[in-house]
Amino acid sequence: MINIIVAGPRGKMGSEALRLIKQTENYHLVGCIDRKNEGMNVSDLEGLPNLDAPIFTDAEIAFQEAGADVLIDLTSPEAGYTHTRLALENGVRPVVGTSGFSDEQLTDIQRLTEQKELGAVIAPNFAVGAVLMMQFAKWAAKYFPDVEIIEKHHDQKLDAPSGTAVKTAKLIEQVRESKKQGHPEEKETLAGARGADEDGMKIHSVRLPGLIAHQEVIFGGTGQGLTIKHDSYHRQSFMSGVKLAVDQVQKVNAFVYGLENLLE
């Protein structure tokens, strides 16, 4: 049995994670971290799966009292960072889907994971198709160093660029020589027209109602182009990855950044 605490249970992803827990035989929800509904039970909340687990607004008390093995965090960058640190401090292994952490925060979590000799998984994208899209993009960048990333998400998303776009750029940087793309003298007549800059690569973030999570990695070469594209049409697309991470975080004593490190 894996005892799980979920942070962000009322959210779009958190509620999907509760459904995953309910339908998985050896998963047991022992609590939720929410910023509302102190003292209530998950089963009291409308629209959520009928699971019997207390809600805590104080994350530290949740980790001390709930008896969790694993934290699934699907909140905001600020809350996710605090929850992840508190989990590790209290011997709970974090599985984090929350995006928007800085490099310094990731390094700090890695250091704490190693110091505590625990496992921790931070995955910018839990959808297997998105993981493959990132790996294919890394491969293609060896041959096509001119690349732009367009990520498209629903308009409730807090962070831009997306965690997936940042991870994609970092993977590409591992194989692509640093290069400033476009005309050396190009000028934006409207600020932001060329998008965000990561090592000379451009990242463009689209936010529109109706979208879920989509990314295109566009490569241009002499007389040819290559586009690698992934779409999540439903948040269920992320759940097999969440399950893999929950199962594996129990077995590793290491900091894992990216689901590709857990796929066979």
Ligand X SMILES: NC(=O)C1=CN([C@@H]2O[C@H](COP(=O)(O)OP(=O)(O)OC[C@H]3O[C@@H](n4cnc5c(N)ncnc54)[C@H](OP(=O)(O)O)[C@@H]3O)[C@@H](O)[C@H]2O)C=CC1
CA distance 213 to 211: 6
Using CB under 6 A as the binding rule, whether residue 124 contacts ligand LZUJQKHR is answered as yes
Using CB under 6 A as the binding rule, whether residue 99 contacts ligand LZUJQKHR is answered as yes
CA distance 58 to 7: 11
Among 157, 170, 202, 243, which one carries the catalytic annotation?
A: 157
Among 153, 167, 214, 230, which one carries the catalytic annotation?
A: 153
| Closer residue to ligand LZUJQKHR, CB minimum distance, 118 or 127 | 127
Note whether 36 and 9 are within 8 A (CB). Answer: no
Q: Any catalytic annotation for residue 157? A: yes
Using CB under 6 A as the binding rule, whether residue 54 contacts ligand X is answered as no
φ, ψ of residue 249 to 5 degrees: the values are -65, -20
Using CB under 6 A as the binding rule, whether residue 11 contacts ligand X is answered as yes
Q: Any catalytic annotation for residue 153? A: yes
Maximum CA extent, the chain:
63
**Residue 75 interacting entry, from ligand X, ligand LZUJQKHR, none, C-beta within 5 to 8 Å by type:** ligand X
Using CB under 6 A as the binding rule, whether residue 75 contacts ligand X is answered as yes
CA distance 54 to 97: 22
Among 138, 152, 153, 230, binds ligand LZUJQKHR (CB under 6 A): 153
Span interacting with ligand LZUJQKHR, options 51-59, 133-141, 161-169, 198-206, rule CB under 6 A? 161-169
Cross-strand partners of 226 = 219
Using CB under 6 A as the binding rule, whether residue 125 contacts ligand X is answered as yes
Residue 251 class from Cβ within 10 Å (0-12 exposed, 13-18 middle, 19+ buried)?
Answer: exposed
Using CB under 6 A as the binding rule, whether residue 262 contacts ligand X is answered as no
| Closer residue to ligand LZUJQKHR, CB minimum distance, 69 or 159 | 159
The sheet that has 213-221: what strands, in order across it? 196-198, 201-207, 147-153, 213-221, 224-232
Note whether 198 and 187 are within 8 A (CB). Answer: no
Among 11, 119, 145, 163, binds ligand LZUJQKHR (CB under 6 A): 163
Give residues 89-108 in contact with ligand X (rule: CB under 6 A).
Answer: 97-100
The catalytic site residues sit at 153, 157
